[in-house]
A = this chain, B = another copy of it.
């Protein structure tokens, strides 16, 4: 059984493991104040071409989202998210558990746009309703689509004009930035968002996300919030070492590129067999629509999610690639699909 179920089926990229091995016996400070974390932050800031951001390493994505959003909002303030947004559907109400409503907007392609934000603002008129304050987006989105630079700029502008914070969940930012269709540079986010995170877990690390706080007003005392939410690892070096490796050279982007390349092979191969897609996603998650009997056959050899039933006889499935997905495996999948 070969898994194309997600991008976290294997351990860490070998280069990361090697770094953990090499540094293992060195002594360091606890709680993320070690030299590896310091070095990793320096390397990321260089890639961001911005020395004026605050960077914090946090074990997981849900934790990063809940810690940040709870720290940024006052009690009556709410987030706006797409109905596909991870915080709206797939985090067990983590944001609400910190006291804040998530206002959802129905979108087709996973992406929030100016008109969605304005429509939410128009509906929220007084103190009998929550006050929308933060716009949550994911890039790539939960259905594999990505934001174009112009789209993000427009969203960023509408947020600034309306005193809203823009927060980007980058769980799969590596893949997003390595898409052919992408025209955003990782350094763009420091100008266009108030905070965003660079996902490690789904891009080659054992675990870990790098939260980047761009807006000066959101920086104070953030470590208190990390500790309070249980996200301050005693051996914080574990996160620092991983991000040091990801950003020392170009590993972070090489991993994103590899995942995308493997998805491209799948995408092209599946298209050539005449199949359509539920959504046109350029990143490492693709959603082909296949006959149910074909899906059944594939399931004997591959594991993946059945995403949605599209009609009586067909369903879309989700295939995800990662740093660990081999060219052999995806080529074999295409072959198996032919039969």
Contact = CB atoms under 8 A, between A and B. Distances in A.
A230 B8 contact: no
A91 B10 contact: no
A231 B11 contact: no
B225 A60 contact: no
A235 B8 contact: yes
A5 B33 CA distance: 14
A228 B96 CA distance: 9
A90 B128 contact: yes
- 6 smallest beta-carbon distances between A and B, as pairs: A63-B230, A76-B224, A11-B24, A93-B101, A62-B230, A92-B228
22 contacts: A5-B30, A6-B234, A8-B30, A8-B234, A9-B30, A10-B26, A11-B235, A14-B24, A59-B207, A71-B76, A76-B224, A89-B129, A92-B127, A92-B130, A92-B224, A93-B100, A94-B228, A94-B230, A97-B229, A127-B224, A127-B227, A130-B224
A221 interface: yes
A233 B59 CA distance: 8
B207 A234 contact: yes
Contacts of A11: 20, 23-26, 235, 237-238
A202 interface: yes
A223 interface: yes
A215 interface: no
Q: What bracket does the count of chain A residues touching chain B fall in?
A: 35 or more
A238 B206 contact: yes
A11 B223 CA distance: 22
A198 interface: no
Contacts of A131: 221, 224
A17 interface: yes
Interface in A220-265: 221, 223-235, 237-238
A25 B29 CA distance: 31
Interface string A1-45: 011011011111010010011011111111100000000000000
Interface of A: 2-3, 5-6, 8-12, 14, 17, 20-21, 23-31, 59-67, 70-71, 74-76, 78, 89-94, 96-102, 127-131, 201-202, 206-207, 221, 223-235, 237-238, 324
Contact of A230 (B26, B67, B71): B67
A67 B66 CA distance: 14
Contacts of A237: 11
B92 A76 contact: yes
Given A76-B225, A235-B207, A230 B99 contact: no
A62 B25 CA distance: 25
Given A221-B76, A235-B11, A92 B227 contact: yes
B8 A24 contact: no
Scoring A74, A76, A231, A234 by chain B CB atoms within 10 A of each residue's CB, the highest score goes to A76
Contact of A71 (B30, B74, B93, B223): B74
A22 B193 CA distance: 40
Contact of A96 (B8, B99, B207, B229): B99
A98 B75 contact: yes
